[in-house]
Amino acid sequence: MKNLKEKIIGATGSVSGAASVLGSWQICHSVCLGIIALLGVIGITIVGMPLEFLTKIAVPMWTIAVLLLITTFILYKTKKCISKNMVIMNTGIIIAGTPFQQVQKFSVFFWVFGGLIAAYGVFLMIKHGKKVKCHEN
């Protein structure tokens, strides 16, 4: 049961990072172009963007990612069950995936700042490479 809790907590952090990436229009656009290119290689032609529907849910997905990150951070602070490095990486991904139209002219800064934070989290994970154990309160 304890191992299951740890896996659920770890999955929450991963879902947080993934949801933030899905919230970014630019990422969705790149994924769509990749899908179109892949399908073109195997002989299927698509006109338009097959994942365009994700742009309509970008802000809700990003909001869910932020809420999951907050939950993950609370669990990190209270139970110490989550890797600090994973929290750092997910924070960077969420910053890089900011989907709001009002700040799109600053999107490069969000990508760079969020990317640097995420890269730092990955660097720390590789450098330390230790498994986090839960401490029951």
Domain map of the chain by residue range?
2-128
Prediction pTM value: 0.58
Please list the pLDDT of the chain residue by residue as tens digits (137 residues): 667 777 776 777 666 666 555 555 455 566 667 777 777 788 777 666 666 676 778 788 888 888 988 988 888 888 877 788 888 888 888 888 887 777 778 878 888 888 899 889 888 888 876 665 555 55
Q: How far apart are CA 83 and CA 76, in angstroms?
A: 7
| Total length of the chain | 137
CA angle 71, 72, 73 (to 5 degrees): 90
- How many whole angstroms separate alpha carbon 72 and alpha carbon 137? 17
CA 78 vs. chain centroid, Å, equals 22
